[in-house]
Structure 1
Amino acid sequence: MLFRKAIIADIPGMSRVRMAVKENVLSNPDRVTAEDYWEMLEDKGAGWVCEIAQTIVGFAIVDFSDANIWALFVDPDHDKKGIGRKLHDLMLTYSFELEIGKLWLSTGPGTRAETFYRRAGWEQTGVTQSGEVRFEMERENFKAIVSRRQQSIS
Protein backbone atom coordinates (compact mmCIF):
# COMPACT_ATOMS: atom_id res chain seq x y z
CA MET A 1 0.00 0.00 0.00
CA LEU A 2 1.26 3.43 -0.94
CA PHE A 3 -0.20 6.53 0.69
CA ARG A 4 0.60 9.89 -0.91
CA LYS A 5 -0.74 13.36 -1.64
CA ALA A 6 -3.33 13.37 -4.42
CA ILE A 7 -2.62 15.00 -7.76
CA ILE A 8 -4.88 16.03 -10.63
CA ALA A 9 -4.03 12.83 -12.55
CA ASP A 10 -5.67 10.88 -9.68
CA ILE A 11 -9.14 12.33 -10.31
CA PRO A 12 -10.40 9.45 -12.50
CA GLY A 13 -9.30 6.90 -9.88
CA MET A 14 -10.84 8.88 -7.04
CA SER A 15 -14.08 9.23 -8.99
CA ARG A 16 -14.11 5.47 -9.67
CA VAL A 17 -13.76 4.76 -5.94
CA ARG A 18 -16.49 7.31 -5.12
CA MET A 19 -18.90 5.60 -7.52
CA ALA A 20 -18.06 2.11 -6.18
CA VAL A 21 -19.17 2.71 -2.59
CA LYS A 22 -22.23 0.91 -1.21
CA GLU A 23 -23.18 3.56 1.41
CA ASN A 24 -23.42 7.33 1.04
CA VAL A 25 -24.06 6.71 -2.65
CA LEU A 26 -24.55 9.82 -4.77
CA SER A 27 -28.19 10.00 -5.81
CA ASN A 28 -27.04 11.92 -8.88
CA PRO A 29 -23.50 10.97 -10.02
CA ASP A 30 -23.30 14.19 -12.06
CA ARG A 31 -23.45 16.13 -8.80
CA VAL A 32 -19.70 15.67 -8.19
CA THR A 33 -17.69 16.47 -11.30
CA ALA A 34 -14.02 16.27 -12.26
CA GLU A 35 -14.01 20.05 -11.93
CA ASP A 36 -15.14 19.72 -8.31
CA TYR A 37 -12.20 17.41 -7.55
CA TRP A 38 -9.85 19.77 -9.40
CA GLU A 39 -11.10 22.77 -7.41
CA MET A 40 -10.63 20.93 -4.12
CA LEU A 41 -7.11 19.76 -4.95
CA GLU A 42 -5.86 22.99 -6.56
CA ASP A 43 -7.76 25.86 -4.93
CA LYS A 44 -9.66 24.96 -1.80
CA GLY A 45 -7.96 22.05 -0.10
CA ALA A 46 -5.74 19.01 -0.29
CA GLY A 47 -6.15 15.30 -0.84
CA TRP A 48 -4.49 11.95 -0.26
CA VAL A 49 -4.80 8.61 -2.01
CA CYS A 50 -3.98 5.01 -1.24
CA GLU A 51 -2.69 2.90 -4.11
CA ILE A 52 -2.32 -0.85 -4.40
CA ALA A 53 -0.58 -2.06 -7.56
CA GLN A 54 -0.84 1.45 -9.05
CA THR A 55 -4.62 1.47 -8.59
CA ILE A 56 -6.29 4.00 -6.31
CA VAL A 57 -8.30 2.13 -3.68
CA GLY A 58 -9.08 5.00 -1.31
CA PHE A 59 -8.92 8.76 -1.04
CA ALA A 60 -9.55 11.65 1.32
CA ILE A 61 -10.00 15.35 0.60
CA VAL A 62 -10.24 18.27 3.02
CA ASP A 63 -11.75 21.63 2.05
CA PHE A 64 -9.72 24.29 3.88
CA SER A 65 -12.05 27.07 2.73
CA ASP A 66 -14.87 25.55 4.81
CA ALA A 67 -12.79 23.53 7.35
CA ASN A 68 -14.75 20.52 6.09
CA ILE A 69 -13.94 16.91 5.30
CA TRP A 70 -15.15 16.86 1.71
CA ALA A 71 -14.52 13.16 1.05
CA LEU A 72 -13.17 9.99 2.61
CA PHE A 73 -13.92 6.84 0.64
CA VAL A 74 -12.44 3.36 0.29
CA ASP A 75 -13.20 0.92 -2.50
CA PRO A 76 -15.47 -1.77 -0.98
CA ASP A 77 -13.10 -4.46 -2.29
CA HIS A 78 -10.43 -3.06 0.05
CA ASP A 79 -12.50 -2.61 3.20
CA LYS A 80 -11.16 -3.33 6.67
CA LYS A 81 -7.48 -3.03 5.79
CA GLY A 82 -6.86 0.20 7.73
CA ILE A 83 -6.92 2.34 4.58
CA GLY A 84 -9.69 4.66 5.77
CA ARG A 85 -8.04 5.19 9.16
CA LYS A 86 -4.65 5.98 7.62
CA LEU A 87 -6.17 8.43 5.10
CA HIS A 88 -8.19 10.02 7.92
CA ASP A 89 -5.13 10.47 10.11
CA LEU A 90 -2.98 11.86 7.27
CA MET A 91 -5.70 14.38 6.39
CA LEU A 92 -6.33 15.52 9.97
CA THR A 93 -2.65 15.69 10.90
CA TYR A 94 -1.91 17.86 7.86
CA SER A 95 -4.95 20.08 8.45
CA PHE A 96 -4.19 20.66 12.10
CA GLU A 97 -0.52 21.36 11.38
CA LEU A 98 -1.82 24.27 9.27
CA GLU A 99 -3.36 25.63 12.49
CA ILE A 100 -6.95 24.88 11.56
CA GLY A 101 -8.67 24.78 14.93
CA LYS A 102 -11.65 22.61 14.10
CA LEU A 103 -12.95 20.48 11.22
CA TRP A 104 -16.47 19.32 10.54
CA LEU A 105 -18.20 16.74 8.37
CA SER A 106 -21.59 15.17 7.88
CA THR A 107 -22.60 11.66 6.95
CA GLY A 108 -25.68 9.51 6.68
CA PRO A 109 -27.17 8.23 9.94
CA GLY A 110 -26.88 4.53 10.68
CA THR A 111 -24.00 4.05 8.23
CA ARG A 112 -20.61 2.44 8.70
CA ALA A 113 -19.17 5.93 8.16
CA GLU A 114 -21.08 7.22 11.18
CA THR A 115 -19.63 4.40 13.29
CA PHE A 116 -16.13 5.03 11.87
CA TYR A 117 -16.19 8.71 12.81
CA ARG A 118 -17.54 8.04 16.30
CA ARG A 119 -14.77 5.48 16.90
CA ALA A 120 -12.21 7.97 15.57
CA GLY A 121 -13.26 10.45 18.27
CA TRP A 122 -15.46 12.86 16.31
CA GLU A 123 -18.16 14.54 18.40
CA GLN A 124 -21.70 14.76 17.11
CA THR A 125 -22.84 18.38 17.13
CA GLY A 126 -26.24 18.02 15.50
CA VAL A 127 -28.15 16.93 12.45
CA THR A 128 -28.10 18.79 9.12
CA GLN A 129 -31.26 20.00 7.39
CA SER A 130 -30.95 17.03 5.03
CA GLY A 131 -30.92 14.62 8.00
CA GLU A 132 -27.21 13.78 8.05
CA VAL A 133 -25.30 13.49 11.30
CA ARG A 134 -22.92 16.44 11.78
CA PHE A 135 -19.60 15.85 13.52
CA GLU A 136 -16.73 18.09 14.62
CA MET A 137 -13.13 17.42 15.61
CA GLU A 138 -11.02 20.01 17.39
CA ARG A 139 -7.26 20.11 16.90
CA GLU A 140 -6.48 19.56 20.60
CA ASN A 141 -8.86 16.59 20.80
CA PHE A 142 -7.22 14.95 17.78
CA LYS A 143 -3.74 15.49 19.24
CA ALA A 144 -4.87 13.83 22.49
CA ILE A 145 -6.39 10.89 20.59
CA VAL A 146 -3.17 10.37 18.61
CA SER A 147 -1.10 10.62 21.78
CA ARG A 148 -3.24 8.01 23.57
CA ARG A 149 -3.03 5.71 20.56
CA GLN A 150 0.77 6.01 20.47
CA GLN A 151 1.00 5.31 24.21
CA SER A 152 -1.11 2.18 23.88
CA ILE A 153 1.22 0.91 21.13
CA SER A 154 4.35 1.49 23.26
Structure 2
Amino acid sequence: MSPILTLRDATRDDIETLFSIRTSVNENHLSREEMAEMGITPQTIADIIAESPCIWLADVDGQPAGFAMAIAEEACLFAMFVLPQFEGLGVGKLLLKKAEAFLFAQQPTIWLETAAGSRAANFYQRHGWQPVGEQDGEDIRFEKSRPAAVKQ
Protein backbone atom coordinates (compact mmCIF):
# COMPACT_ATOMS: atom_id res chain seq x y z
CA MET A 1 0.00 0.00 0.00
CA SER A 2 1.32 3.45 -0.92
CA PRO A 3 2.07 5.88 1.87
CA ILE A 4 -0.42 8.70 2.41
CA LEU A 5 1.16 12.14 1.98
CA THR A 6 -0.59 15.16 3.45
CA LEU A 7 0.35 18.81 3.55
CA ARG A 8 -0.78 21.53 5.92
CA ASP A 9 0.14 24.96 7.20
CA ALA A 10 2.53 24.80 10.14
CA THR A 11 1.29 26.18 13.45
CA ARG A 12 3.00 27.30 16.64
CA ASP A 13 2.47 23.76 17.92
CA ASP A 14 4.77 22.50 15.14
CA ILE A 15 7.82 24.61 15.99
CA GLU A 16 9.69 21.85 17.83
CA THR A 17 8.89 19.45 14.98
CA LEU A 18 10.30 21.93 12.45
CA PHE A 19 13.52 22.24 14.45
CA SER A 20 13.72 18.48 14.87
CA ILE A 21 13.43 17.97 11.10
CA ARG A 22 15.95 20.73 10.37
CA THR A 23 18.55 19.29 12.73
CA SER A 24 18.05 15.70 11.49
CA VAL A 25 18.98 16.10 7.82
CA ASN A 26 22.20 14.70 6.39
CA GLU A 27 23.09 17.50 3.96
CA ASN A 28 23.28 21.15 4.96
CA HIS A 29 23.07 20.16 8.60
CA LEU A 30 22.86 22.93 11.20
CA SER A 31 22.57 22.59 14.96
CA ARG A 32 20.08 24.63 16.98
CA GLU A 33 23.02 26.72 18.19
CA GLU A 34 24.16 27.45 14.65
CA MET A 35 20.62 28.43 13.68
CA ALA A 36 20.35 30.70 16.71
CA GLU A 37 23.55 32.45 15.62
CA MET A 38 21.81 33.10 12.29
CA GLY A 39 18.76 34.51 14.08
CA ILE A 40 16.61 31.41 13.56
CA THR A 41 15.00 30.66 16.92
CA PRO A 42 11.66 29.24 18.06
CA GLN A 43 10.48 32.81 18.66
CA THR A 44 11.39 34.01 15.16
CA ILE A 45 9.61 31.01 13.66
CA ALA A 46 6.56 31.69 15.86
CA ASP A 47 6.55 35.30 14.64
CA ILE A 48 6.73 34.16 11.01
CA ILE A 49 3.88 31.68 11.49
CA ALA A 50 1.74 34.39 13.13
CA GLU A 51 2.41 36.79 10.27
CA SER A 52 1.73 34.63 7.22
CA PRO A 53 0.93 31.03 6.25
CA CYS A 54 4.33 30.50 4.63
CA ILE A 55 5.60 27.34 6.37
CA TRP A 56 4.14 23.99 5.37
CA LEU A 57 4.55 20.63 7.05
CA ALA A 58 4.30 17.38 5.13
CA ASP A 59 3.25 14.17 6.84
CA VAL A 60 3.66 10.59 5.65
CA ASP A 61 1.06 8.28 7.15
CA GLY A 62 0.48 10.87 9.87
CA GLN A 63 4.16 11.30 10.80
CA PRO A 64 6.00 14.59 10.19
CA ALA A 65 8.32 14.06 7.23
CA GLY A 66 9.47 17.46 5.99
CA PHE A 67 8.76 21.15 5.71
CA ALA A 68 9.18 24.12 3.42
CA MET A 69 9.33 27.82 4.24
CA ALA A 70 8.98 30.74 1.84
CA ILE A 71 9.53 34.47 2.23
CA ALA A 72 6.96 36.17 -0.01
CA GLU A 73 8.43 39.69 0.15
CA GLU A 74 11.78 38.39 -1.09
CA ALA A 75 10.29 35.84 -3.54
CA CYS A 76 12.50 33.27 -1.81
CA LEU A 77 12.18 29.59 -1.04
CA PHE A 78 14.04 29.97 2.24
CA ALA A 79 14.11 26.37 3.46
CA MET A 80 13.00 22.90 2.45
CA PHE A 81 14.02 19.78 4.33
CA VAL A 82 12.88 16.16 4.33
CA LEU A 83 13.79 13.61 6.98
CA PRO A 84 16.16 10.98 5.52
CA GLN A 85 13.77 8.09 6.19
CA PHE A 86 11.11 9.76 4.03
CA GLU A 87 13.29 10.64 1.04
CA GLY A 88 12.14 9.25 -2.29
CA LEU A 89 8.44 9.22 -1.42
CA GLY A 90 7.48 12.50 -3.13
CA VAL A 91 7.57 14.64 0.02
CA GLY A 92 10.05 17.13 -1.46
CA LYS A 93 8.08 17.40 -4.69
CA LEU A 94 4.84 18.04 -2.78
CA LEU A 95 6.47 20.72 -0.62
CA LEU A 96 8.16 22.34 -3.62
CA LYS A 97 4.89 22.59 -5.57
CA LYS A 98 3.17 24.23 -2.59
CA ALA A 99 5.98 26.75 -2.04
CA GLU A 100 6.23 27.58 -5.73
CA ALA A 101 2.48 28.18 -6.03
CA PHE A 102 2.59 30.44 -2.97
CA LEU A 103 5.53 32.46 -4.29
CA PHE A 104 4.34 32.63 -7.91
CA ALA A 105 1.00 34.07 -6.69
CA GLN A 106 3.06 37.08 -5.53
CA GLN A 107 6.11 37.30 -7.81
CA PRO A 108 6.92 36.34 -11.42
CA THR A 109 10.44 35.11 -10.61
CA ILE A 110 11.44 33.23 -7.48
CA TRP A 111 14.80 32.15 -6.11
CA LEU A 112 16.63 29.97 -3.62
CA GLU A 113 20.18 29.19 -2.57
CA THR A 114 21.66 25.80 -1.84
CA ALA A 115 25.04 24.12 -1.72
CA ALA A 116 26.61 23.74 -5.15
CA GLY A 117 26.86 20.09 -6.20
CA SER A 118 24.45 18.90 -3.50
CA ARG A 119 21.60 16.47 -3.95
CA ALA A 120 19.30 19.44 -3.30
CA ALA A 121 20.85 21.36 -6.21
CA ASN A 122 20.22 18.38 -8.49
CA PHE A 123 16.64 18.08 -7.19
CA TYR A 124 15.86 21.73 -7.94
CA GLN A 125 17.35 21.48 -11.43
CA ARG A 126 15.20 18.42 -12.16
CA HIS A 127 12.19 20.55 -11.21
CA GLY A 128 12.95 23.39 -13.59
CA TRP A 129 15.11 25.70 -11.46
CA GLN A 130 18.00 27.33 -13.30
CA PRO A 131 21.39 28.06 -11.74
CA VAL A 132 22.16 31.77 -12.13
CA GLY A 133 25.37 32.19 -10.16
CA GLU A 134 27.48 31.31 -7.16
CA GLN A 135 26.87 33.16 -3.93
CA ASP A 136 29.80 32.78 -1.56
CA GLY A 137 31.85 30.06 -3.17
CA GLU A 138 29.87 27.22 -1.62
CA ASP A 139 26.26 28.11 -2.43
CA ILE A 140 24.60 28.54 -5.78
CA ARG A 141 21.58 30.71 -6.54
CA PHE A 142 18.73 29.20 -8.53
CA GLU A 143 15.82 31.03 -10.11
CA LYS A 144 12.56 29.94 -11.65
CA SER A 145 10.05 32.00 -13.60
CA ARG A 146 6.30 31.68 -13.40
CA PRO A 147 5.04 29.54 -16.28
CA ALA A 148 3.24 31.47 -18.99
CA ALA A 149 -0.54 31.17 -18.94
CA VAL A 150 -1.86 28.55 -21.31
CA LYS A 151 -4.21 29.97 -23.94
CA GLN A 152 -7.29 27.95 -24.73
Q: TM over 0.5, yes or no?
A: yes
Specify the alignment match of 1:66 in structure 2.
Answer: 74
Structure-2 change in CA distance of 1:92 and 1:102 (3 Å): same
Aligned length: 142
Specify the alignment match of 2:95 in structure 1.
Answer: 87
The answer as to 2:136 corresponding to 1:129 is yes
Tell me by how many angstroms 1:8 deviates.
1.7
CA distance in 2, matches of 1:64, 1:45: 10
Report Cα offsets for 1:114-143 as digits up to 9, x if no partner: 1001101101110112520100111126x7
Paired residue type of 1:103 = I
Instruction: Tell me the C-alpha RMSD between the 2 structures.
Output: 2.0
CA distance in 1, matches of 2:77, 2:47: 14
CA distance in 1, matches of 2:141, 2:47: 23
CA distance in 2, matches of 1:45, 1:24: 24
The answer as to 2:14 corresponding to 1:7 is no
Task: Give the 5 Å matches for 1:1-150.
Answer: 1-26=5-30, 28-31=34-37, 32-43=40-51, 46-97=54-105, 99-140=106-147
> Please, which runs of 5 or more residues in structure 1 have no aligned partner?
145-154
> Please, which runs of 5 or more residues in structure 2 have no aligned partner?
none
More helix by share: 1
Is the 8 Å Cα contact of residues 9 and 53 (structure 2) preserved in structure 1? no
Paired residue type of 1:30 = A
Paired residue type of 1:24 = N
Structure-2 change in CA distance of 1:104 and 1:44 (3 Å): farther
Structure-2 change in CA distance of 1:135 and 1:13 (3 Å): same
TM, length-normalised to structure 1:
0.82
TM, length-normalised to structure 2:
0.83
Structure 1 runs (4+) deviating above 6 angstroms are none
